[in-house]
Amino acid sequence: MDMSEYKEIFRAESGEHLQQLNDSLLGLEQNPNDLEYINTMFRSAHTLKGMSATMGFNRISELTHEMENLMDMVRKSQVEVSNGLIDILFECLDTLEALVEAVDSGEEVDIAHLQATLAQAMEGTMPIQEIKGSVTASIDTIQNEIGNEIPDCSSETETTTEVACVIDNIELSDNEKQAIQEAVKEGNRAVSLNVILDESCVLKSARSTLVLINVSRMGEIIKCIPTEAELEDENFDLDFTVIFTTKSADEDIVSTVKKISEIKEVLPTTIAESSVTEEKVQDQKTEETEEKKSASAVKRSDAVKSIQSVRVNIERLDNLMNLVGELIINKIRLNQLASDLNAKELDESLANLDRLTNEIQTEVMESRMVPIDQIFSRFPRMVRDLAKSEGKQINLIIEGKEIELDRTVLDEIGDPLVHLLRNAVDHGIESEEERKQLGKPVAGLVRLAASRQRNSVLIEVEDDGKGMEPGHLRDVAVKKGLLTRDEVDKLSDNDALNLIFMPGFSGAKVVTDISGRGVGMDAVKNKIEALGGSVKISSVPGQGSIMKLQLPLTVAIIQSLMVTVADETYAIPLGNVIRDVGIKASDIKTIEGKEVIMLRGEVLPLLRLHDVLECPTEEEDKHNLIVVVVEKMGSNIGLVVDDLLGQQEVIIKTLDNKLLKNMKGFAGATILGDGSVALILDIATLI
């Protein structure tokens, strides 16, 4: 592995720790007295420091070391959590991100001013009179933090001596033995865990720190050999030992630790109870209730929760998906040949091929799916900073973080969501004074939610702000020369809301740096529709607005309904199809110059694909027509086609030809079993 590959690993793992720092800092801002956030931040900063020091990235190591010192003073109640402190730490995170980005370029990032600011923050210790009252609380905090590794010392002080208790040549002190005895009484067991790293391991300190984090999730760490400081400084060969108490089985311990890369062996050994009961322990002990201990364990687990996975370059997944696509095309071709030959043995072989192909396809598709939280996790910090710059209070609610999307889709929706959230904070939510006058809560509400719907994902961006006035939007369209007064007067209120998607439209009375001159709403709509999705808006003046983005789960392989129009074959994504029906031409009515039919008691608008695609009209039987009912963001429309060929799985190929690329109404193309090409209709842009 060359240095560039190590840098890639470093950047990926650093990103995870920076995100953990960011999330914990946001939590600390809302709950300044919850030291669990500080503990989590301390662990992430500690790991990042070790990784960067190993790689020789000294500026990152120095800055994280200073952050560690400051957070340690917060843990000891020597520095108070304040808005100023939060801002300093956020500035540190921004600088760390810049330093990580500069790993390849070698660009110089100045950290001297931040180091000076951190030093000033550390000088602002608590007044003497406040220290006395906090000593007992500090002792309690330390005990909770390290899981009662030490006995209760808030009421008395004892002189302890080292008592030789040798376990595999490891000496345990009285305090360490006592901690084990307490854990055993509560149903735990003591484990000596020997971890051996791969000979090729470069980031030894980082790996050892990750092991300690994973072990701490399963129980309470009693001792490390070598010490944590020696592990951090890589003052060890390839193995180290952790003594801890846990209720986890050996196989669970091995499985959890082996999820970390570059781990060669994990060897757990149960420590006999007799080894730690040689000395009589003191009778008076501070005991946590089971409820408190469970809650604490859950809290710690939640604070450091992360997804364990193997990193695979997205280009490899793309290549694999292309190969699967070719396999499916050939499978379809073989099925057609088999039906012509009518050979039983060939049919059986093809059935097996079909099963295997489907299984491979499912696995490849699943491997491309990632939680939408990878995008959503960026936004709490962004909304917090925007709200602060605007002098507003914003409560951001995020729902559906576990929903998964194709990596390609996920990478493309970041910018549109940033723009929608900026609009909600800047233009949607009123100022604090306005909200007070309107009788609304001072803090505005912005909701970002994802949910699974059939073969798609729905993302909603909602705010409880001022909403949009259709009349105002009509006036803006006329003022900017986008439409005439007669044209806008004919628009329904819902159509008037959609004026915001017109190029050059801006309904804001005041242009701001936050959302006024960047990507327009037309660009947001175009981006979503280019992915095969659609955008819908609803708004109530004085109550707020909701932007709904409907997105496909994947843009690689889809189920489609194959139809013909003027002897050409087209694919309609099955996710858009509601049903197909046969109608008589006499059933068609005209309302305001548009064709409609009554279907199941509802008025259904019709579109003749011959006209939309500008195909020649057949002079065949026009008395009986085939209609495919499709759905677009809650509205149904009927597409008139010549014939139905059935359902088929198709592989989406992008339209690289410049002429085809600029044609609206097509999501791509696919190769059919006979080698011919069929265009895939994009319902969102076609209608």
Give catalytic residue positions: 46, 68, 423
C-alpha span between 570 and 150 (Å, rounded) = 72
C-alpha span between 210 and 46 (Å, rounded) = 10
C-alpha span between 285 and 281 (Å, rounded) = 9
- Asked whether the beta carbons of 629 and 580 are under 8 A apart, the reply is yes
**Reduced 3-state DSSP string for 343-411:** CHHHHHHHHHHHHHHHHHHHHHHHHHEEECHHHHCCHHHHHHHHHHHHCCCEEEEEECCCCEEEHHHHH
Report how many helices (DSSP H) and strands (DSSP E) the chain contains, helices first: 24, 24
- Asked whether the beta carbons of 378 and 410 are under 8 A apart, the reply is no
* Among 499, 534, 531, 506, CA closest to 520: 506
Query: Can you say how many angstroms the Cα of residue 551 is from the centroid of all Cα atoms in its chain?
Result: 15
Rounded to 5°, the CA angle 404-423-522 comes to 80
- Asked whether the beta carbons of 650 and 557 are under 8 A apart, the reply is yes
Is 676 exposed, middle or buried (CB count within 10 Å of its CB: 0-12, 13-18, 19+)?
A: exposed
- Asked whether the beta carbons of 409 and 552 are under 8 A apart, the reply is yes
C-alpha span between 223 and 238 (Å, rounded) = 18
- The DSSP result for 622-681, as a single string, is -SEEEEEEEEETTEEEEEEESEEEEEEEEE-B---SHHHHT-TTEEEEEE-TTS-EEEEE
Rounded to 5°, the CA angle 243-219-307 comes to 115
- Reading the block at residue 63, the tokens are 């800055």
> What phi and psi, each to the nearest 5 degrees, are found at residue 628?
-100, 115
- Asked whether the beta carbons of 338 and 54 are under 8 A apart, the reply is no
- Reading the block at residue 286, the tokens are 């501070």
- Reading the block at residue 447, the tokens are 């909701």
- Asked whether the beta carbons of 651 and 670 are under 8 A apart, the reply is yes
C-alpha span between 230 and 242 (Å, rounded) = 13
- The DSSP result for 435-461, as a single string, is HHHTT--SSEEEEEEEEEETTEEEEEE
> What phi and psi, each to the nearest 5 degrees, are found at residue 565?
-140, 115
- Asked whether the beta carbons of 533 and 684 are under 8 A apart, the reply is yes
- The DSSP result for 498-536, as a single string, is GGGGSTT----SS--TTTTSSS-HHHHHHHHHHTT-EEE
- Asked whether the beta carbons of 178 and 151 are under 8 A apart, the reply is yes
Q: Which helix (H) or strand (E) holds 292?
A: helix 290-303
Place of tokens 């000076």: 116
Place of tokens 């709200």: 387
What is the chain's alpha carbon radius of gyration, rounded to the nearest angstrom?
32
C-alpha span between 368 and 185 (Å, rounded) = 46
